[in-house]
């Protein structure tokens, strides 16, 4: 939890710099790349986590790894993290930065679960509906889950829009248990 807070601060600082220099999108894609490299290699993970390796060595390894593939700002930021001995937070910072960027552009993520695959026009229509509902741009991620039987389950942040058959049947069951409104 403490680390998350630190990660948030670094992400906010990086966002401020990126905004000043109008390179928000490039920094975001750079961080995505860095994140995927780290996730993809156990060796890199161990290298970053190791406290034994000197700061100078770490910096030079970072330069060799990303020097040509990321922008000047991102590289400087990575070096700063190493100097501050916060390199373990890189993955978290990348995540936080992505969230900050989405906030800035008014984009929300929506996880859509359906029982059957949606065809592209259906997906597009759903996206438009969600954009009207949230009054923001929506990035939709689709997934399949047969257990909801039918309908849709949309999750945006903490809010769930539940039109699944499974949920409706559960509600119906509750109603029968309680005894409906017009009994007796």
Partner 1 sequence: MAEVRPEEVSAILRKQLAGFEKEADIYDVGTVLQVGDGVARVYGLTKALMSELIEFPHGVFGMVLNLEEDNVGCILFGESSEIKEGDVVKRTGRVASMPVGEQMLGRVVNPLGQPTDGRGPIKTEKVMEIERKALGVIQRQPVKEPLQTGLKAVDGMIPIGRGQRELIIGDRQTGKTAIAIDTIINQKYTHSEKAKKEGIKPVYCIYVAIGQKSSNVAQVVDKLQQEGAMEYTTVIAATASDPAPMQFIAPYSGATLGEFFRDTGRHALVIYDDLTKQAQSYRQVSLLLRRPPGREAYPGDVFYLHSRLLERASKLNEELGGGSLTALPIIETQANDVSAYIPTNVISITDGQIYLEPGMFNSGIRPAINVGISVSRVGGNAQIKAMKKVAGRLRLELAQYRELEAFAKFGSDLDKATLQQLRRGSRLVELLKQGQYVPMTVEKQIVSIFSGTNGYLDEIPLEHVQRFEKELLEMTELKHVDMLAEIAMTKDLAEDLTKRLHEILKGFTESFKASVKV
C-beta of residue 117 within 8 angstroms of C-beta of residue 144: yes
122 binds partner 1 (CB under 8 A): no
109 binds partner 1 (CB under 8 A): no
65 vs 108, which CB is nearer to partner 1? 108
Burial tier of 115 (Cβ tally within 10 Å: 0-12, 13-18, 19+)? middle
Candidates 29, 162, 166, 173: give the one binding partner 1 (CB under 8 A): 162
CA–CA separation, 87 vs 103, rounded Å?
A: 25
Binding segment for partner 1 (CB under 8 A), chosen from 27-35, 69-77, 87-95, 168-176, is 168-176
User: 135 Cβ partners below 8 Å, 6+ apart?
Assistant: none
Burial tier of 78 (Cβ tally within 10 Å: 0-12, 13-18, 19+)? buried
155 binds partner 1 (CB under 8 A): yes
CA–CA separation, 24 vs 104, rounded Å?
A: 10
169 binds partner 1 (CB under 8 A): no
Binding segment for partner 1 (CB under 8 A), chosen from 33-41, 60-68, 94-102, 166-174, is 166-174
For the CB of residue 73, give the shortest distance to partner 1 in the complex, in Å: 28
Positions touching partner 1 (CB under 8 A) are 1, 4-5, 155, 157-163, 167-168, 171-172, 175-176, 180-183
């Amino acid at each position: 939890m403490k680390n998350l807070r630190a990660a948030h601060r670094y992400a906010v600082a990086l966002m401020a710099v990126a905004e000043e220099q109008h390179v928000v999108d490039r920094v975001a894609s750079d961080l995505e790349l860095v994140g995927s490299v780290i996730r993809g290699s156990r060796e890199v993970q161990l290298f970053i986590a190791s406290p034994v390796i000197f700061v100078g060595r770490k910096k030079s390894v970072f330069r060799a790894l990303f020097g040509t593939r990321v922008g000047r700002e991102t590289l400087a930021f990575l070096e700063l993290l190493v100097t501050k001995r916060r390199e373990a937070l890189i993955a978290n910072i990348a995540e936080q930065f992505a969230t900050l960027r989405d906030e800035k552009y008014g984009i929300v993520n929506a996880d859509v679960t359906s029982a059957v695959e949606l065809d592209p026009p259906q997906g597009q229509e759903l996206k438009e509906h969600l954009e009207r509902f949230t009054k923001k741009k929506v990035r939709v991620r689709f997934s399949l889950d047969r257990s909801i039987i039918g309908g849709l389950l949309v999750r945006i942040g903490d809010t769930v829009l539940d039109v699944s058959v499974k949920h409706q049947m559960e509600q119906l069951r509750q109603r029968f248990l309680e005894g409906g409104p017009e009994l007796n």
